[in-house]
Structures are given as structure tokens and as C-alpha cells.
Amino acid sequence: MSDRAVAEVVDITPGMGSEVANLDLRDLSSFSQHWLADLLARRKVLVFRDQSLSRDQHKAFARVLGELHIHPSNRQVGAKGDPEVFAIRTTENSRYANGDAWHTDVSCEEVPPLASALYVRELPGPSGGDTVFADMTRAFATLSEPIKALIRSLNAVHDGRKDLARYGIELKAGQSYPCATHPIVPVHPDTNEEILFVNPSFTDHILGVSRSESDAILELLWRHVTDDPRLHCRVRWQPGTLTIWDNRSTWHHAVWDYFPSSRYSERVTILETRRPRR
């Protein structure tokens, strides 16, 4: 029986996001790398319910798509714990919730990650803590032609220190964090579709224009994405849910609406080997 015959795929919205039923992610023989990569590239966000995964099984599933990425906080700042797992814990004592702003995971890397797979191990209750995603392929497609022409030739600087500053974190002597320049409109390496590849958390400025021009262009792009719900899909977490998203063609926002309850999740991220290109 083929992969597609086993899995039941139900779309969350017409343009982006699908729930995938009838797959036990512990059984890696029940699906192929090609099937998973193709579905992820097309639907951008995949939700798997009713899973029971150990940390090693979570990582094994992610490795179907490639080698695992080590987050800069583990690789360069010296965070403790499993370097291949980015742990995200929010409690009533937290000053902030990680990911509580629109972003693409560590787009400041020279080669930004291919995808992220998040498994929530502690939920705040029967509701709250949803993740909202934005479709950056459609975001570019719905811009006007003059704006498309303007930004196609431009590059932007993605600086990890901008994201750290949101959390009040300053690097200490001897520490570093990635900073990279990427095209604003690369093509997806698997679908060849043009993508809007900037985000509010990491993109600092556009090269070749004045700072005021850069700020104005970026603010226009931020508003274009955040103000249009047709670009969004929302994932509600339940016990045993794993969600994987294409980091090259999405933004996401972890909604912190559950204070003072706690939430604990673990993210495993997959390396990309191809730099963003026009």
C-alpha cells in the first residue's frame, strides 16, 4: 500500500496547512522521505495528532528530511542540554514567551534551516497557546507588480542580535550570533516559486537604500502579511500533537494567551544545504 493511501490528509485552509492522520511517526517505514518532503513543500505546515514520541523518536522523524540543525544558542552561546533540541518553556514567572512574535526560525543563518518540527509536551490547558502561520509564497504573489519589481533585486541583512534584543539578551565577551545577507525574493529550492523572505524578528535592514527607505519598505511588507488573514492558518495544540513547517516559505507566531499557565515544547530543526537564491 502506498504512502498516500495510508495517510489521510485534510487541509486546514485551501492554500496552506494540512492535518495528516493514520500515521505513527515512530514507524519510519510507514512513509518515505520523498512523500514527506513533497507534501511539506506543497502544504507548508503539517499537523500530526495522537503521537507518543520520546525525544529520540522525535529526532529520528526529523532526520527523515535531513541532518539536524543546532540552534545558535546551543552552538555559540553555550546553552545547556541536548544541542539538537531547542527547549521552549513558559511559566507564570517568564518575562517573555519564546516565539511570541512573527518570525522565520533563525533566518540570520548563512543557510537558514529547511524545516522545524515542534512537539508540545506540556499544554497550558484545554485551550490557548495556538501557533499561527503565514504563507510567504502567497504573500509575495499578492503584492502589486510595482512592489514585486522593486524588491526582486534587493538584499536584506538578517541579524540574530535583533531577535536577542527583544528578550533583553546581550552577548557577552567571546560570544557571537549569526548575521547573514539574503535576497528578499528567493525561489523555493523544491517548488521554484518566489518567496517573500524577510521577517520582523530577524531582518534588520535592506542594503542599497537609506535607513528610512529600508524601514518604510519593511514596514509595508510586515503590514501586508500581518493584516491579511487570507495568508494565515492556525494550529490548535492537543496532547500528542507534532507540527512540522517549511521554514523557507512561512512565518509563525506562538500566541502567549495562557498566562499564568505553563507550556513546554521541544523543537527539532532540519538543516538546509542550499542557500537562498533568486
List active site positions.
Answer: 103, 105, 252, 267
| C-alpha distances out from residue 86 to 99, 120, 144, 245, 250, Å | 12, 12, 38, 15, 19
Q: The C-alpha cell of 29 is what?
A: 517505514
Q: The C-alpha cell of 14 is what?
A: 485551501
Among candidate residues 21, 19, 113, the one with its CA nearest the CA of residue 65: 113
| C-alpha distances out from residue 217 to 126, 160, 176, 211, 230, Å | 40, 20, 28, 10, 21
Instruction: Evaluate whether 16 touches 3 at the Cβ level (below 8 Å).
Output: no
| C-alpha distances out from residue 227 to 93, 114, 151, Å | 31, 26, 20
Q: Which helix (H) or strand (E) holds 47?
A: strand 45-48
Question: Crossing angle of helices 145-152/211-226, nearest 10°?
Answer: 130
Dihedral of the alpha carbons of 47, 49, 55, 58, in degrees to the nearest 10? -40
Q: The C-alpha cell of 141 is what?
A: 504573489
Amino acid in the structure at residue 271: L
